[in-house]
Structure formats: structure tokens, C-alpha cells
Structure 1
């Protein structure tokens, strides 16, 4: 018979930072890792139930060292920000340090259930019941907890979803409504000396994680979101804005791998939901061939609103407009982490939040304003090679005119001037999903000068649907 540990949070909040993560990252370890649960049981034995026999407790913890499964209620992730005076206040200057308090808001019966597929001896069951009742909190001290051992999962947990170890790093194994979580688990057999190590002791050994531990990948229910009423409108959804959450955003130089990972995740979700079909979000037909017709499909574009050289938002701009299923696919993707695989240069484990969807009025004004002069925000990469008989100025002019002709009927009179932009040094100009040999096409910083004002946005060249060749007006 399985062992069922019920962790009830009467305040409906669960605070816990994953081991190895910085508190201001805003990450929440949900569900509580097996390593956290074992440490909590050991701690309450030492502090609140020292009369229990050591042999019984040691054997109990060894039995519970196998990875459990969980039942998790609907939840949302939230945080508060606190600003504390730092040491500079002693000198009379005004200065503060920010602390992020992230937590999971639990709905339903506000109870997480951990289930171990083991049988316990009667004395071990009694010891576990005694220890569970002695647990004051799980995670941070803010997470007041009432724990108890149950014979079975109660009926009021019908709305919970199961979190299971999947045992390997394969996002394709995740079903819709689930996302990946790497939980800290003990290696078998359990090392009690490692279990009681303090974080400062682990750091002193120049380790990120305690010895005798391993990370196991779980399929965890995605966070729940309040349903928004659908408004009837004839306007197409041509713009979707996704804010990148976290303390540190990826650099602009990682635009292509980020957009490649996001688009790939969208295609997976869309294929699962509606099957093979023509998709403006994917830019492909049902047969897998590229769409034609003036680059009217989705552009995944980086937006650096703060001007610090990092991507604050991803703006998905689709001139032809997205279907309701494609917008829903974007919303589904934001419920899981986005990033490149191990061994590939680029961002990992990013989370995004949809902030707006609608028409072109949601585009940044600096992209959408009419202007005669436009300058590159990201490098322009021509789609063709420079022919020996062409001067560089002729080559760039011909490439710009050809790209403009693909995007409209009337090609405006334009002059292209090469410039130097140190921000473009180190820019990744190749998709990590592209298994062909690395491209040798160079990149350029350009300024375009039109005879008449031209309306934006302007995206030109190779990988323009992945964020390269993006321009902004300068006058």
C-alpha cells in the first residue's frame, strides 16, 4: 500500500527556492523535492521528536528515498518585491537592495500529496505519523504547513493533477498541460551524512548540489490561469507580445536561437492540437513546405525596451493575422520553459508571459512610424552571396531592393549605406536546428535612405523571421 503524505498549506501559499537557484530569480520549487521532504523529516526528528528510535527513523528515511509521485492542486505563481536599506545608508546616501519573494498560490483544498510506492513496517508508519504532525513548515518559514499521513488520497483531491518522474530529459514526453521540473533527489542508497549538510558546507566543498544527490526530471502540471472572456471582434490578431520574466534577460546576440526555440515549441503544440495544417505561425504548409506570398507569416522579433542590449520582450508580428488556434498555441507555450538544448549556445529555461494581443497598434511606436531613414537594430544578412563583379555598395543595394520587392508591389527608391555597429559583434546568425554546414554569409549594419517616408515595420534578409534584419526609424 502506498504511503500518502498530505501537506496542507492553510494560508494557500507555498514558498520554496530550488537548491542551486538564487532567490531573486523568482523560481518556486513545486512540488517540494524529495530531498527537501527528507531533510524536513530529519530536522523535526532531531528538534521535535528526539525520543524516536534512531534505527527506526534511519530505516524509514531509507525507504522514502525512492522518488515519489505527487498530486498537485491548481496553482499560480506570484511574487512580492521588498526593498531594504543596504550598508550605504550608514553614510547618509539613499540606497536599497531588492528581494523577490516568489511563491505558489494553491487553489482547491490547498493540499499537496506526496505518494511513495513502498510498504512500511508498523513502527516505521508510527514514526512517520509522529514526524509528519511535527512539521511546522515546508520550504521557507512563511510556508506554514499542516502535515499528516493518510491511508488513501481523499475525494476532495479529485481536481488535482499528477506529477510523475519521467526519468529522462525529453520534452516530447510531456503532454499538453504539463511542463518539465528537475527535482533534487537522493541517490540510492541514501547517504545520511550528505542529507544533513548545510548549504554553506556544500559551497565550502565547491559543489552546487550536495553529494549523494541527483536531478530527476518530473512532468509537472502547468500553472493554471484565470479564463478571460472572449471578445467578438473582426480585427485579426497580427501582434502578440510576450514579456520575458526573470532577473536577467538574454542578450540581443542570442536573438536567433531564442526565436528558433520559441517557434519550434509553437509548432509542437500546434501539431498536437490541430494536426498538420497550413500555419502562418509556423510559416509552413500542411506538407511541410515553406509558405509563399510576400512574407506574410509570423516574424519572431526581439524588443529591447530598456536599451540595455537585452531582450525584454518577444513580439510575434504576423501581417496576415493568426488564427485562434495559433494564438492559443502561443499562450500554451508560455506555460513551459523555453530555451536551447544542452551543448547549444543560447538562452535556457526562460519563461514568458503574454501581455497583449491585437493589431499593429500594439507594435512599438519606433517600429511602426513612417520615416525616410531607417537603421538596423539587428544585423542584416543578405540571402545571396556577393558576386565578384559587384562593388559592396551595389551588392547591398541590390539585396535590399530584392528583399523589399518580396514584401510589396511598389519598391520605393532607396539607398543603402554600410555602417559599423559594435553591438553586432558576436551575433549568432545561424539556427541551431539547421543541420546543414554553417552559413558563411556576412552580416552588415545598414542605414536605408528612402526618397519618401516609408511605413514600418521593416525586416529584411536572411532569418528576418527569426529577428535578424530588423530596422527602426532615425529621422
Structure 2
């Protein structure tokens, strides 16, 4: 009568890293190797059933040392990622180490069946039944399982088999893949079975003594379900919330948005492939886009008007691709900020909270209004000439910018004022080697002859948050 060991995983997850593989490779040992199962039974005997006779357990383990066959339910390979503080966290930096927790998600009855073609005497079968009942997990400790010994595989189970094969790929069944499984050499060397991994590493061995790799034909994992991508909607707005105890000052808008755009470009570059990117504002050959300002604007949003940035809103009139939205989502798993020695925020965390159309923009940025006032300083793109009247210069610069954005400046009146909040406002990118042509930032109030819709962003560094206006009606 064959021996059937039924391993049910009530949580539907089986965690186990194959011997000789690094945990962050994300590989899962499917099926559980005979070496793993024998070590689990030996450990259970020592820790939970020491009253069992030694000669019975030894003979039982020797009988089960032959490679079994397995019945494996449909499964998928998945993983979660965990970021733990490393040795640098005591210095105040947000430095972490990544750990990958890979596992097999089991469907069906969430049970893996191991079948040995051996006969056990009543004493051995009774010992195996007791050890199976007392086994708390198979694999890592989070693989909680319920193990029992059966006389046969239940008739309703129609799972494909995983079993040893020869060296010819033709021996593999349909939908199967070759997998090397760690098995003991015969006869079983119990001293080798109970060696600690640290001792095996100290002996500079890749695998434990008295073991061999046996090729199994194993059912391939199911393909993961992909989320449905809706291509009929254009993403023009992405909102990134800044998390933390204290938000950065509005005066540090340009350093923050410059660092954010730089992080986006770095991720796009690593992903490879040359294409015109609205997010980066560059063409496939690395040149700035000439798209009438339809590429990304990184705009600060001070929701409670306390002088600090609550969100960065990425507004892209030309629309973002799914890849570019994914890049902004990736930023939520990284810290963003300026480097050491540069004035501005650092080590910030941003979370993508919404993406969609222009309806996601703040109402005070878009609703039609006659009067609009500065949220951030307006910095002219051109240099003021000494022979030119300054008020006329500012009016001409605003009119020229409105024309670039397809807005009519006819009938526009402009009033300039002093805004104490704009004192100390950084008006240049830290990546620039030379200062801007105009170091003056203006607080303006624009009045149009007819209601005008937003958003309105004008002037130098308007794609980095300067020259932003809100309604004043």
C-alpha cells in the first residue's frame, strides 16, 4: 500500500526557498523537496514527539528516502516586498534593505499530496501519522499547514503529477517544466540529514553531503491575471501627496519639482527605449519638446494656504502614457529631494493618490473668473532693458506668455504688488550651472475683460511651479 502525505495549507500560501538559491531571487520550491520533508519529520520527532522509539523513526525515514511523486493543485508564484531599516538608519538617513517574500498561491483544495511507492509496517505508519499530525509548517514558518497520512489520494482529486523524469525533454508532459529537486542519496545518511545550514556553509559546500539533484516534471505555474488597462481615457492629471510630519515650504517649490522631474527621468532612462516623453519634456533624441507647453507641469498645491506644499500636481495637457503614470507611482516607494549641500527639501515620500483628467485639478485653478492672483512668483523669461518702462515690460511679458498658451491678452489689466510670502522664494534650478536672467519675482493680479478658465502658469520655470495663478473672484 503506497504512503500518501497530504499537506494542506489553510492560508493558501506555501513559502519555501530552494536550497542554493538566494531568498531575494523570488524562487519557490515547488514541490517541497524530499530532503525538506525528511528534515521536517525529524525535527517534529525531536521537538514534539521524543517518546517515539528511535529505531522506528530511523527506519521510517530510511523508507521514505526514495523520491516520491506529487499531486500539485493549480498554483501561481507571487511575492511581497519588505523594506527594513539597515545599519545606516541610526544616522538619521532613510536607508533600507529590501527583502522579497516569495510564495506559491495554491488553488483547489490548497493541498499538496506526496506519494511514496513503499510499504510501511504498522509501527512505522503509526509513527508517521503522529509526526504528520504534529508538524506545524512545511518550508518557512509562515507556511502553516495541516499534515495527515492517507491510504490513498481522494478520488475527486485530478491534479497533474510531478514525478522524476529522465534527461530527455520529451519525457515532460504537456504544461510541465523541468525542476531540479534536492533528494537524499540511498541509503539515507541521517548524520547528513540533520546538519545545520551554517555548518554546510562553513564547510564551503554548495549542497549538503549525501544529496543529489533529481529532475522532476512539474506542472508549470498559472499565469497571473493582468489588470484591465483602459486605453480610452487620457491621463492629464496625477496628484502626489507629500507624507511626513512637516511638509516643505512653498518657497522651495523649484528645488522639489526639479528633483521630482529628475527622479522621473532617471527611472525612464533605466527602463530603456527611446520615445518622446511628455513627463520628461524631452524628445526621443534628448532634445526639449516644442509642443506649445503641453508637456508636464509640476505644480505645488497648498490646500490650507499655510505656506507649505501638501501635494505636487503633475498637469500634462498633452497626456501621459501608462508607462509614465507607472513611473510616478514608483516614486511612492522612493525618497525624493535635493542632494546634500543644496537648499531645499530632502528625503520626502510621495504617494500617488489620484490620476485622471482635468476634473482632478483644484477648482480654484480652473473655474472661469475675471481676476486671477499669483500663487507663486511670476519670473519673466526675458531680461528687462534699462530704457524700457518696467511696468510696460511686465505687461508685455505676461501678454506674450498668454499668447504662447493660446489665450488672448486683449483688454488685460495687470496690477503688481508686494507679497511678503515671496521673499526668499527660490527662483532657479539647482541643476542649472548659471543663474536665471531675471532674479525678480512678481506678485501679480490679472484682470481679464471676460471670464477666463485655468490653469494659468506663466513665465520662467512655469513647468516647475513658478508663475502659477488661482482665481481671485
Q: Distance in 1 between matches of 2:430 and 2:326?
A: 26
State how many pairs are aligned. Answer: 288
Cα distance change of structure 1 residues 294 and 21 upon mapping to structure 2, 3 Å threshold: same
What is the aligned partner in structure 1 of residue 261 from structure 2?
Answer: 263
Q: Distance in 2 between matches of 1:284 and 1:387?
A: 32
Q: Distance in 2 between matches of 1:420 and 1:309?
A: 16
Which residues of 2 match residues 18-167 of structure 1 at below 5 A?
Answer: 18-19=89-90, 21=92, 30-31=96-97, 71-73=99-101
User: 2:256·2:338 contact (CA, 8 Å) conserved in 1?
Assistant: yes
Aligned to 2:341, the other structure's residue is in SS state coil
User: 1:419·1:446 contact (CA, 8 Å) conserved in 2?
Assistant: yes
Q: Give per-residue Cα distances to partners, 1:144-195, cap 9 Å, x unaligned.
A: xxxx96857999xxxxxxxxxxxxxxxxxxxxxxxxxxxxxxxxxxxxxxxx
Q: Determine which of 386, 389, 398 is the counterpart of 1:388.
A: 386
User: 1:430·1:439 contact (CA, 8 Å) conserved in 2?
Assistant: no
Q: Distance in 2 between matches of 1:250 and 1:227?
A: 40
**Per-residue deviation, 1:315:** 0.2
Aligned to 2:397, the other structure's residue is in SS state helix
TM-score, normalised with respect to structure 1: 0.55
Aligned to 1:397, the other structure's residue is in SS state helix
Cα distance change of structure 1 residues 233 and 425 upon mapping to structure 2, 3 Å threshold: same
Cα distance change of structure 1 residues 110 and 435 upon mapping to structure 2, 3 Å threshold: farther
Aligned to 2:265, the other structure's residue is in SS state helix
**Per-residue deviation, 1:331:** 1.4
Q: Distance in 1 between matches of 2:237 and 2:199?
A: 50
What is the aligned partner in structure 1 of residue 274 from structure 2?
Answer: 276
Which residues of 2 match residues 210-225 of structure 1 at below 5 A?
Answer: none
Q: Distance in 1 between matches of 2:198 and 2:430?
A: 49
Cα distance change of structure 1 residues 363 and 393 upon mapping to structure 2, 3 Å threshold: same
What is the aligned partner in structure 2 of residue 366 from structure 1?
Answer: 364
Cα distance change of structure 1 residues 71 and 435 upon mapping to structure 2, 3 Å threshold: same
Q: Distance in 1 between matches of 2:261 and 2:472?
A: 30
**Per-residue deviation, 1:414:** 1.1
User: 1:370·1:456 contact (CA, 8 Å) conserved in 2?
Assistant: yes
What is the aligned partner in structure 2 of residue 137 from structure 1?
Answer: none
User: 1:385·1:441 contact (CA, 8 Å) conserved in 2?
Assistant: no
User: 1:404·1:411 contact (CA, 8 Å) conserved in 2?
Assistant: yes
TM-score, normalised with respect to structure 2: 0.55
Structure 1, unaligned runs of 5 or more = 6-11, 32-69, 76-107, 112-147, 156-225
What is the aligned partner in structure 2 of residue 447 from structure 1?
Answer: 445
Q: Determine which of 324, 327, 342 is the counterpart of 2:325.
A: 327
Q: From the CA coordinates, give the structure whose radius of gyration is larger.
A: 2
Q: Give per-residue Cα distances to partners, 1:331-352, cap 9 Å, x unaligned.
A: 1222211111111111111111
What is the aligned partner in structure 2 of residue 310 from structure 1?
Answer: 308
Cα distance change of structure 1 residues 393 and 30 upon mapping to structure 2, 3 Å threshold: closer
Aligned to 2:351, the other structure's residue is in SS state strand
Which residues of 2 match residues 395-410 of structure 1 at below 5 A?
Answer: 395-408=393-406, 410=408
**Per-residue deviation, 1:272:** 1.8
Structure 2, unaligned runs of 5 or more = 1-19, 24-80, 104-138, 143-196, 208-223
Cα distance change of structure 1 residues 473 and 275 upon mapping to structure 2, 3 Å threshold: same
